[in-house]
C-alpha cells in the first residue's frame, strides 16, 4: 500500500509545486522550438539543399550581326520558349542568288576565238588590277569616257548573306563607242580586269561608264571564281552574269557627249526588250542594277551586290 502524497506539510507541498512549474516551463520551451522548425519548413528555408521552384518561361534570344528580329518565348509552367534569331548580313538584311546570264561573244576567258586565235586574258600577267581603264602587258592605250568606280559586294545566300572573302571577280565591258578590246580592237586589252574580294567580300574597280551598242541594253559582264588561282579559265567559274546600268545615269552620260551614237541607240532599248535581261523579273533587274551617285562631269561611284549560293 502506497503512502498518499498529500497532507505531508507545507514544505512538501511547496517543493512539489515548484517541480510541476519547472516541468511545465520545459514543456513550453520544447513546444516553442518545434513550432519554429515547422514554420521554417513551411516557408521553404533552412538548408543549402533547398531549391526555389518558379513557374513561367524565360525566352532565349540570340544576337547576330545585321538586321533581325528577336523572338519572345511562350509563357507556361515548366516550358522554355525559344526566340527567333535575326538574319546576319553584310550591308543588307537579305540577299538573293544572282541569275546566270550569257558571257556573250567577247569574254576573253578561254571560251572562244578572237581574230583567229583562242582568247584568254585571264592568263595574262597584270590582269589582276583595280583600275582597268588602260591596256597592259605590252599594249598601250587608255579608254576615254566618264569615270566609274564600282564596288561589288559578294555574298553567300546559303549563309545569311555572309561576305565571301578571297573569291575572284573578273569584269569586262565595251568602251564609249560600244567596242570590245581584243575583238573589235585587237591592239587593246583595256576594260578587263580581275580582283580578289577582301575580308568584307568586296572588290572595287575603276573603269568608265560603258556605251550602248545596237541590240543590247548598257551592261557590264562579270564572272566569279573561287580564288585568284582558279580564275584562269571559264571552266572554273562559279557564276557568269551581267550588271544593267541605271537608266537615269545612261541618259545623263550619253547626253553629255563623247559617246557617239549611244544616246540614239539607248532610246531604242530597255531591260524588258533586251535579249539578255528581258526574261528577268523586276526584282532581279533591281538587284542587278548598281546604285550610282555622281554626274557625267564628276564621274560616278556605285555599289552592287552579287548573291552566290555556296
Residue 33 lies in a domain: no
Instruction: State how far the alpha carbon of 191 is from the alpha carbons of 6, 208, 262, 264, 303, in Å.
Output: 130, 8, 18, 23, 18
Can you give the residue range of the structural domain that contains 302? Answer: 109-308
CATH number of the domain bearing residue 303: 2.60.130.10
Residue 18 lies in a domain: no
pLDDT digits (tens, 9 = 90+) for 212-259: 999 999 999 999 999 999 999 999 999 999 999 999 999 999 999 999
Instruction: Give the per-residue pLDDT at 146.
Output: 98
Instruction: Give the per-residue pLDDT at 59.
Output: 35
* pTM recorded for the entire structure: 0.71
* C-beta of residue 122 within 8 angstroms of C-beta of residue 110: yes
* C-beta of residue 187 within 8 angstroms of C-beta of residue 142: no
Residue 211 lies in a domain: yes
**Range list of H helices, the chain:** 10-43, 247-255, 262-266, 282-288
Residue 12 makes CB contacts below 8 A (sequence gap 6+) with: 5
pLDDT digits (tens, 9 = 90+) for 132-158: 999 999 999 999 999 999 999 999 999
Instruction: Give the per-residue pLDDT at 94.
Output: 79
What are the residue ranges in the chain where pLDDT is below 50? 1-17, 22-92
Residue 48 lies in a domain: no
* C-beta of residue 290 within 8 angstroms of C-beta of residue 246: yes
Residue 284 lies in a domain: yes
Residue 292 lies in a domain: yes
Q: CA 137 to CA 135: how far, in whole Å?
A: 7
Q: What's the domain count of the chain?
A: 1
Instruction: Give the per-residue pLDDT at 63.
Output: 37
Residue 261 lies in a domain: yes
Amino acid at each position: 500500500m502506497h503512502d498518499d502524497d498529500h497532507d505531508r506539510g507545507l514544505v512538501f507541498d511547496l517543493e512539489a509545486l515548484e517541480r510541476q512549474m519547472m516541468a511545465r516551463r520545459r514543456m513550453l520551451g520544447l513546444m516553442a522550438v518545434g513550432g519554429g522548425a515547422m514554420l521554417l519548413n513551411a516557408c521553404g528555408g533552412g538548408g543549402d539543399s533547398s531549391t526555389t521552384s518558379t513557374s513561367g518561361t524565360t525566352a532565349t534570344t540570340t544576337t547576330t550581326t545585321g538586321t533581325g528580329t528577336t523572338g519572345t518565348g511562350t509563357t507556361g509552367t515548366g516550358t522554355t520558349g525559344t526566340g527567333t534569331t535575326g538574319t546576319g548580313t553584310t550591308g543588307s538584311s537579305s540577299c538573293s542568288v544572282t541569275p546566270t546570264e550569257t558571257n556573250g561573244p567577247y569574254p576573253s576567258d578561254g571560251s572562244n576565238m578572237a581574230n583567229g586565235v583562242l582568247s584568254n586574258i585571264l592568263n595574262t600577267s597584270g590582269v589582276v588590277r583595280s583600275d582597268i581603264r588602260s591596256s597592259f602587258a605590252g599594249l598601250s592605250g587608255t579608254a576615254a569616257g566618264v569615270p566609274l568606280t564600282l564596288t561589288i559586294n559578294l555574298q553567300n545566300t546559303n549563309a545569311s548573306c555572309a561576305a565571301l572573302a578571297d573569291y575572284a571577280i573578273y569584269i569586262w565591258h565595251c568602251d564609249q563607242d560600244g567596242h570590245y578590246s581584243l575583238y573589235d580592237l585587237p591592239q587593246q586589252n583595256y576594260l578587263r580586269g580581275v580582283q580578289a574580294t577582301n575580308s568584307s567580300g568586296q572588290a572595287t574597280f575603276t573603269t568608265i561608264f560603258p556605251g550602248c551598242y545596237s541590240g543590247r541594253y548598257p551592261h557590264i559582264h562579270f564572272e566569279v571564281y573561287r580564288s585568284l588561282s582558279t580564275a584562269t579559265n571559264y571552266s572554273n567559274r562559279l557564276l557568269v552574269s551581267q550588271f544593267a546600268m541605271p537608266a537615269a545615269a545612261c541618259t545623263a552620260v550619253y547626253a553629255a557627249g563623247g559617246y557617239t551614237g549611244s544616246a540614239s541607240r539607248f532610246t531604242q532599248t530597255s531591260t524588258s526588250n533586251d535579249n539578255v535581261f528581258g526574261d528577268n523579273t523586276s526584282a532581279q533587274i533591281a538587284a542587278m542594277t548598281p546604285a550610282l551617285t555622281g554626274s557625267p562631269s564628276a564621274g560616278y561611284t556605285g555599289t552592287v551586290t552579287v548573291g552566290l549560293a555556296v
